[in-house]
Amino acid sequence: MIYQDISGLFQTGKEHVGLHKIDLERSILQVSRVSEKLRENIVQNAYPFLTSVQETEDIKRLLPVLKRFSENLETIIVLGTGGSSLGGQTVTALRDGGVGFHFSKPSLYFLENIDPFTLNLLINHVDLEKTGLLVISKSGTTSETLAQVLTCEKLWAQKNLSPFFIKNTLVVTEAKSSPLRRFAQYLGILCLDHDPKVGGRFSVFSLVGLIPLMCANLDPLKLRRGGYQVLEKFLTKSITESTPALGAAALYALMMERGITQTVLMPYVDRLAPFGLWFRQLWAESLGKDGIGQTPIRAMGTVDQHSQLQLYLDGPKDKVFTLLGLEGKTAFEDKALLSSKDPELDYLDEMSLGSLLKAEEHATFQSLLQKGCPVRRLSFNRLDEEVLGELFMHFMLETLLMGTLLKIDPLTQPAVEEIKRLTKVYLTEAKKVK
Amino acid sequence: MIYQDISGLFQTGKEHVGLHKIDLERSILQVSRVSEKLRENIVQNAYPFLTSVQETEDIKRLLPVLKRFSENLETIIVLGTGGSSLGGQTVTALRDGGVGFHFSKPSLYFLENIDPFTLNLLINHVDLEKTGLLVISKSGTTSETLAQVLTCEKLWAQKNLSPFFIKNTLVVTEAKSSPLRRFAQYLGILCLDHDPKVGGRFSVFSLVGLIPLMCANLDPLKLRRGGYQVLEKFLTKSITESTPALGAAALYALMMERGITQTVLMPYVDRLAPFGLWFRQLWAESLGKDGIGQTPIRAMGTVDQHSQLQLYLDGPKDKVFTLLGLEGKTAFEDKALLSSKDPELDYLDEMSLGSLLKAEEHATFQSLLQKGCPVRRLSFNRLDEEVLGELFMHFMLETLLMGTLLKIDPLTQPAVEEIKRLTKVYLTEAKKVK
């Protein structure tokens, strides 16, 4: 279970830019008001990306499909970008560590970009006969994903491996006619339906997150169970007993009354490194609208203590911090205790890497507090699918609540649609010049 | 050669928060003034991390050492954090692609953190007899790096591989007594001297960047040559002819007169993904002091168009953007042209991944401009060691100039030192409780 400590968000001295008690109380009232409507909508299934955590049937249906798809594969390349990719990256980090290791089979590579150098590097180093492609695009019109899959089709064909391309590809897209859907149908590639009511950045509990998770032999039911626990508490308990409701109240007050324009998420667990990227999209795309918005920053403890903390502590007081960390035995379970014969390293003797990591998190928390920066902590006593599910649900609800408080529709992304249109215009113009 | 286009930093309409011509002119005068002193200091060798780009002898001496160190290794694990790691990550991305691939031999893994889960994952998947450790800590007192190396020593010993640990480890640290130096000397591990006048985040042209680069079979002389070209121009040409001097003038004016608090670096080349992280440390740690500072943000084109661009375009106008991209033939050199029989994809037909990438960069540039966001472009017609050297020098000089303009010493990081002290206090307290 995740535990939230917001004590560090309150003003503790003249320099501290955090909350007064009264700010939070006022904000809690506002959250109460907007929560009523949100709860009602959730119960009436207006947000299937949340309520899907109660389902199990879809997972049962998925099992045989994935067994057939992945059982002979050494490598799976996920083609997709943004919300089609970040959820999958985040869940598979539980197995792979979150720092770019590809040691387990099948290896999962998330090819988000269209840089030809990168694609060639990857294609030239995998065995194409044992490589699967998982192609994800909600609309079926995402240029980058289509360009990736068209390029791959060509590369496979050049090596006379088209039958493997067709057999080893799995497409996830909406059940309507689209370039991706037509492409898959034309070639006879298996297509699964992307729920049209589940937007990319909110899709981690759907097929989009579950397929990579299941390909990595992790447990989808546990992930959903974690999500359900946080959702259920929000639906049935008071605002102060629900971590995302209380969190949203505090963050909203900090933003509106203390001019906090940036929110830093800083996990002290490598496996949560992609979670920071997932959160960054969720917060930025959902809340950055109409001149409003708060810039999400993904930091990593301890790494960014040596890269960003100088600015965080001593620069402008425009940030709120959320530290994520393991607590209790699991955090220290590494048995290799440190030892040196060096008197200057006495402080490390008999400690482990895990305990040093905790001490650094503690030191960062205290330093932020002392320097007057608002900081909260989310902690958990293990990190598995269930806790990850809780974290996903926590931040999705917090984002929805913030959006409602800010009077922004958190489910759209109008400005990005314009870029997509412009890209097509430039490409068409470029072709005319040719 | 890198080419800078600052036209998008100027106000083009009522909504645009960019510069007036007069702002830039005023700022250029200020840069002129501070540049005189800086140039003088550089010529008098007060900044060896810049002037080292003129040296070649140290590289000649390094060659045989590295041949002996790396020739039988399949894997090299770099132990170090912040400035001891990011430069190496950035240069080796030229070979490895910048997105976490480890296909070439020797594979280079940069283990920045002390998460025991990650370390165990890595150690359990490499052949320790063929694994080298490159340990980098300027002071020789960095807790994380010491904890890493002590843990590794123990793990190697548990497998009766201590002789390999000793033979395959190379330490880079200052030539003074320190825990790391004493550790190496006690075991008889080879130590190379870290120049005491070269701070971590400015160390990429020194051993710290060169060793990983050379282990990846890249050319150190070309890297330095690129750096030299940008340095020489700054020393001998006018402010407007030097990309970092003109850049600093524009960014300073935007910060002081337009309230721009965040600077987004967005490469449209995967190989520059770690460059964004390197820049992020350089800018944050150098300029985040005394309540001043600007938050650096590392974005990736096209990936973050699907994650952050909604906020950038439609959120608060508190950001300046720098796009980095390939120009000319190299950008489009992939031969696999796209083709589909789908009328909705006519715009992609006969295009390549590279041309789509360029079109997206173009669309992003124009969209930012239209939405009133200041944006500049740095472009180059190839990406190799030389151009990377130019980029390093550009941003180091720009940072030094910004620091001088802001009356901040860009070479220190006082707040981080406090965290290091606190961590030791907590560890010592934790031990007492035990």
Q: Is there a contact between A281 and B119 if contact means CB atoms under 8 Å apart?
A: no
Q: Is there a contact between A307 and B366 if contact means CB atoms under 8 Å apart?
A: no
Which CATH number is A162's domain given? 3.40.50.10490
Report yes or no on B432 lying in a domain.
no
Q: Would you state the torsion angle of the CA atoms of residues B57, B60, B65, B67, taken in this order, to the nearest 10 degrees?
A: 160
pLDDT value at A242 more than 60 = yes
* Catalytic, out of A333, A420, A424, A429: A420
Q: Are A306 and A202 in a shared domain? A: no
Looking at beta carbons, which residues of chain A come within 8 Å of B423? 356, 359-360, 363
CB A251 within 8 A of CB A320: yes
Phi, psi of A127 (to 5 degrees): -85, 105
Residue-wise pLDDT for B268-287, tens only, equals 999 999 999 999 999 999 99
Nearest to A121 among B81, B101, B200 (CB): B101
Residue of A nearest to B114 (CA): A353
pLDDT value at A23 more than 60 = yes
Distance from CA of B61 to the nearest CA of A (A): 30
Q: Are A207 and A250 in a shared domain? A: no
Task: Tell which residue, B242, B273, B326, has the closest CA to residue B100.
Answer: B273
Q: Would you call B186 exposed, middle or buried from its count of C-beta atoms within 10 A (0-12, 13-18, 19+)?
A: exposed
Residue B384 DSSP label: S
As a whole number of angstroms, the distance between CA A254 and CA A416 comes to: 28
Residue of A nearest to B361 (CA): A423
pLDDT value at A380 more than 70 = yes
Task: Please identify, among A188, A218, A248, the residue that sits at the C-terminal boundary of a domain.
Answer: A218
A316: containing domain: 3-40+222-414
Helical packing angle, B220-236 and B207-215, nearest 10°? 140
> Is some CB atom of chain A closer than 8 A to the CB atom of B157?
no
Distance from CA of A57 to the nearest CA of B (A): 31
Q: Is there a contact between B81 and A141 if contact means CB atoms under 8 Å apart?
A: no
Average pLDDT over chain A, rounded to whole?
A: 95
Report yes or no on A423 lying in a domain.
no
Nearest to A155 among B284, B336, B354 (CB): B336
Q: Is there a contact between B348 and A147 if contact means CB atoms under 8 Å apart?
A: yes
* Catalytic, out of A285, A361, A385, A390: A285
Report yes or no on A368 lying in a domain.
yes
Give the model's confidence band at B410: pLDDT under 50 very low, under 70 low, under 90 confident, else very high. Answer: very high
Per-residue confidence (pLDDT) for residue B432, from 0 to 100:
64
Q: Are B226 and B194 in a shared domain? A: no
Q: Is there a contact between A150 and B313 if contact means CB atoms under 8 Å apart?
A: no
Nearest to B284 among A288, A308, A371 (CB): A308
pLDDT value at A433 more than 70 = no
- Stretch (H or E) spanning B207: helix B207-215
Q: Are A66 and A144 in a shared domain? A: yes
Report yes or no on A110 lying in a domain.
yes
Average pLDDT estimate for B187-210: 97
Residue B315 DSSP label: S
Looking at beta carbons, which residues of chain B come within 8 Å of A291? 314-317
As a whole number of angstroms, the distance between CA A412 and CA A287 comes to: 9
Q: Are A380 and A295 in a shared domain? A: yes
Task: Please identify, among B200, B218, B236, the residue that sits at the C-terminal boundary of a domain.
Answer: B218
Q: Are A331 and A213 in a shared domain? A: no
* Catalytic, out of B21, B125, B306, B341: B306
Per-residue confidence (pLDDT) for residue A337, from 0 to 100:
80
Q: Are A88 and A32 in a shared domain? A: no
Looking at beta carbons, which residues of chain A come within 8 Å of B355? 427, 430
Distance from CA of A60 to the nearest CA of B (A): 31
Task: Tell which residue, B92, B86, B79, B106, has the closest CA to residue B171.
Answer: B79
Report yes or no on B45 lying in a domain.
no
Give the model's confidence band at B71: pLDDT under 50 very low, under 70 low, under 90 confident, else very high. Answer: confident
Contacts 24+ apart (CB under 8 A), B42-50: B42/B231, B42/B235, B43/B235, B47/B400, B48/B195, B48/B197, B48/B198, B49/B195, B49/B197, B49/B198, B49/B199, B49/B202, B49/B203, B49/B205, B49/B206, B49/B396, B50/B202, B50/B205, B50/B227, B50/B231, B50/B393, B50/B396, B50/B397
pLDDT value at A289 more than 80 = yes
Average pLDDT over chain B, rounded to whole?
A: 95
Per-residue confidence (pLDDT) for residue B433, from 0 to 100:
54
Give the model's confidence band at A331: pLDDT under 50 very low, under 70 low, under 90 confident, else very high. Answer: confident
Task: Tell which residue, B26, B28, B427, has the closest CA to residue B249.
Answer: B28
- Stretch (H or E) spanning A326: strand A319-326
Interface of A with B in 402-431 (CB under 8 A): 413-416, 418-419, 422-428, 430-431
ipTM over 0.90 threshold? yes
Per-residue confidence (pLDDT) for residue A284, from 0 to 100:
98
Residue-wise pLDDT for A296-314, tens only, equals 999 999 999 999 999 999 9
As a whole number of angstroms, the distance between CA B310 and CA A97 comes to: 29
As a whole number of angstroms, the distance between CA B434 and CA B431 comes to: 5
> Is some CB atom of chain B closer than 8 A to the CB atom of A328?
no
Looking at beta carbons, which residues of chain B come within 8 Å of A289? 310, 314-315
**Helices (H), ranges, B320-373:** 353-370
Active-site annotation holds for B420: yes
Report yes or no on B22 lying in a domain.
yes
* Catalytic, out of B112, B144, B174, B285: B285
Q: Would you call A63 exposed, middle or buried from its count of C-beta atoms within 10 A (0-12, 13-18, 19+)?
A: exposed
Write the DSSP assignment of B74-103 as a string of letters: SEEEEE--GGGTHHHHHHHHHHHTTTT---
Q: Is there a contact between A271 and B117 if contact means CB atoms under 8 Å apart?
A: yes
Interface of A with B in 34-73 (CB under 8 A): none
Residue A114 DSSP label: -
β-strand pairing of B169-173 with B295-298: unpaired
pLDDT value at A333 more than 80 = no
Per-residue confidence (pLDDT) for residue A341, from 0 to 100:
86
Looking at beta carbons, which residues of chain B come within 8 Å of A125? 101, 103
Per-residue confidence (pLDDT) for residue B402, from 0 to 100:
98
pLDDT value at B430 more than 70 = no
Residues whose CB falls within 8 Å of the CB of residue A326, separated by 6 or more in sequence, listed in order = A268, A269, A354, A358, A379, A380, A381, A382, A383
Distance from CA of B345 to the nearest CA of A (A): 7
Q: Are B236 and B286 in a shared domain? A: yes
CB A169 within 8 A of CB A22: no
Q: Are B256 and B402 in a shared domain? A: yes
Average pLDDT estimate for B230-259: 97
Residue of B nearest to A118 (CA): B97
Distance from CA of B137 to the nearest CA of A (A): 12
Active-site annotation holds for A420: yes
Report yes or no on A253 lying in a domain.
yes
Dig out the tokens for B244 from the structure. 């970092």
Q: Would you call B160 exposed, middle or buried from its count of C-beta atoms within 10 A (0-12, 13-18, 19+)?
A: exposed
Q: Are B117 and B203 in a shared domain? A: yes
Nearest to A340 among B150, B302, B336 (CB): B150
Q: Are A347 and A273 in a shared domain? A: yes
- CB atoms under 10 Å from CB of A176, counted, come to 11
Report yes or no on B325 lying in a domain.
yes
Residues whose CB falls within 8 Å of the CB of residue A304, separated by 6 or more in sequence, listed in order = A266
pLDDT value at B379 more than 90 = yes
pLDDT value at B181 more than 60 = yes
Residue of A nearest to B341 (CA): A183
Looking at beta carbons, which residues of chain A come within 8 Å of B306? 81-83, 142, 144, 200, 281, 416
Helical packing angle, A385-405 and A86-96, nearest 10°? 150
Residue-wise pLDDT for A271-283, tens only, equals 999 999 999 999 9
As a whole number of angstroms, the distance between CA B264 and CA A228 comes to: 37
> Is some CB atom of chain A closer than 8 A to the CB atom of B81?
yes
Task: Please identify, among A218, A251, A267, the residue that sits at the C-terminal boundary of a domain.
Answer: A218
Residue of A nearest to B287 (CA): A311
Write the DSSP assignment of A123-137 as a string of letters: HTTS-GGGEEEEEE-
- CB atoms under 10 Å from CB of B119, counted, come to 24
Task: Tell which residue, B134, B287, B175, has the closest CA to residue A312.
Answer: B287
Average pLDDT estimate for A262-269: 98
Residue of B nearest to A267 (CA): B115
As a whole number of angstroms, the distance between CA B391 and CA B226 comes to: 8
How many structural domains is chain A composed of? 2
CB B115 within 8 A of CB B81: no
Write the DSSP assignment of A343-404 as a string of letters: GGGGGGTT--HHHHHHHHHHHHHHHHHHTT--EEEEEES--SHHHHHHHHHHHHHHHHHHHH
Interface of B with A in 102-121 (CB under 8 A): 102-103, 112-121
Per-residue confidence (pLDDT) for residue B144, from 0 to 100:
95
Dig out the tokens for B38 from the structure. 């800086």
pLDDT value at B305 more than 80 = yes
* Catalytic, out of A14, A21, A125, A306: A306
Q: Are A137 and A229 in a shared domain? A: no
- CB atoms under 10 Å from CB of A75, counted, come to 20
As a whole number of angstroms, the distance between CA B171 and CA B162 comes to: 16
As a whole number of angstroms, the distance between CA B222 and CA B226 comes to: 6
Per-residue confidence (pLDDT) for residue A432, from 0 to 100:
64
Average pLDDT estimate for A62-86: 96
Nearest to B292 among A315, A342, A418 (CB): A315
Share of chain A above pLDDT 90, in %: 89
Angle at A422 between CA A421 and CA A424, to 5 degrees: 70
> Is some CB atom of chain A closer than 8 A to the CB atom of B330?
no
Average pLDDT estimate for A427-433: 69
Residue of A nearest to B297 (CA): A297
pLDDT value at B36 more than 70 = yes
Nearest to B351 among A311, A363, A427 (CB): A427
